[in-house]
Amino acid sequence: MLRLDSLSKRFDDTRAVSDLSLEVREGELLSLLGPSGCGKTTTLRMIAGFETPTSGRVLLAGRDVTALPPQRRGVGMVFQSYALFPHLDVFENVAFGLRARGAPAREVAGRVAAALERVDLAGYEKRSVQALSGGQQQRVALARALAPEPPLLVLDEPLSNLDAALRERTRAQLRALLREVGITAVFVTHDQEEAFDLSDRIAVLDHGRLQQLGTPEELYHEPANAFVASFVGHANFLPGRLSNGPGGGDEAEVAEGVRWPVRLTTGIAPGPVRLMVRPEDLRLGPPEERGDGLGARVVDRRFAGASSHYRLRTGQGWELVVATPGAAPHVEGEVVVRLADGAVVHAFPEAP
């Protein structure tokens, strides 16, 4: 449906996007996720046609649209600020795209009504958009973008202007609506939870480069690098040493006599490495059962229903977060941190 072909964009001396290639399938919901300044908004603006790539191509349904202005791409867009026309009422806002494309008047009324119906705003036609609540404005923006039935919808931080409680509810509605319409959509967000909730696949960007493209599960369980691991979910990082022993290097020495099984990432060599383990892959035990565990002290504990979250300081001075099942008995003081059964730690090259 949408293909980005080694897309790059430079502003003066800064590289906003570097050699980005990815493909969005028909009907797929894909998020561009990353911290601010990672190039995700620039990428979105290149898809919509507001920025011209320095090099590379944008292909829409197999057609090269790189040189086309936004007017002629037919991409629907929901802006972060919604960009509703303040001088037009709800009806005229939603009708704007239809009229701009020269739809006959009879058809306009019907399609506007259908679009408003879909976002649950039937009867709001004559309202001023400025008199609407934030959530309603967001839905008008969505109806306006969907009314011309674009093949592709792009959404720039569509929920960031809503307060937390409303955001969660709106997120669920948005997902249901997009599924129902069956549209292909690309989101931009800096919120990992939002990306997980809304999309089939996620492209994680940092410094203008694609770090990993995959399903939420893949990103969480098989992060390609330390950046993805830390950006998606909580990650505990520890220094370690990859042994080139008889096991062929699938074990790492975490501390003197403590060896944990590792999953290797590409390009890793024996020697000092950066280890990452998720909080729920760690278990706590009484200090007597030292075995292959790390001695640590509980700094802080927070109960969260399904799990309990412990903040620990190990004997080496590292800080670890451990999530234990909520039913597990609480512990205090000195403990031993072990790897949960069947769990692995990830080994990444040492930070340069």
What is the rounded distance in angstroms from the CA atom of residue 41 to the CA atom of residue 26?
22
What token pair was written down for 318?
A: 């590292």
The residue range among 28-36, 78-86, 236-244, 293-301 that interacts with other proteins, by the rule CB under 8 A, is 78-86
**Looking at beta carbons only, is 89 or 206 nearer to other proteins?**
89
Pairing of strands 14-24, 29-33: unpaired
| Total residues binding other proteins (CB under 8 A) | 28
What is the rounded distance in angstroms from the CA atom of residue 310 to the CA atom of residue 226?
22
What is the rounded distance in angstroms from the CA atom of residue 321 to the CA atom of residue 279?
5
What is the nearest approach in angstroms of other proteins to the Cβ of residue 330? Answer: 41
What is the rounded distance in angstroms from the CA atom of residue 61 to the CA atom of residue 263?
38
Q: Which of 139, 144, 171, 338 binds other proteins (CB under 8 A)?
A: 144
Q: Find the helix packing angle between 90-100 and 134-146, rounded to 10°.
A: 20
Asked if 96 interacts with other proteins (CB under 8 A), we say yes
Asked if 104 interacts with other proteins (CB under 8 A), we say no
**Tally of residues, the chain:** 352
Q: Which of 70, 151, 239, 349 binds other proteins (CB under 8 A)?
A: 70
The residue range among 44-52, 112-120, 197-205, 238-246 that interacts with other proteins, by the rule CB under 8 A, is 44-52
What is the rounded distance in angstroms from the CA atom of residue 111 to the CA atom of residue 113?
5
Nearest CA to 216 among 25, 29, 18? 29
Q: Which of 14, 130, 133, 316 binds other proteins (CB under 8 A)?
A: 130
Asked if 208 interacts with other proteins (CB under 8 A), we say no
**Contact string (CB under 8 A) for other proteins, positions 155-194, x = contact:** ----------------------------------------
Q: Which of 6, 14, 101, 110 binds other proteins (CB under 8 A)?
A: 101
What is the rounded distance in angstroms from the CA atom of residue 4 to the CA atom of residue 186?
12
- In DSSP terms, 30 is beta-bridged to 186, 201
Give residues 286-325 in contact with other proteins (rule: CB under 8 A): none
What token pair was written down for 346?
A: 């990830």
Asked if 71 interacts with other proteins (CB under 8 A), we say yes
Nearest CA to 155 among 183, 115, 134, 180? 183
Q: Which of 86, 267, 342, 352 binds other proteins (CB under 8 A)?
A: 86
Which residues in this chain contact other proteins in the complex, by CB under 8 A? 11, 48-50, 69-71, 73-77, 79, 81, 83-87, 96-97, 100-101, 128, 130, 144-145, 148
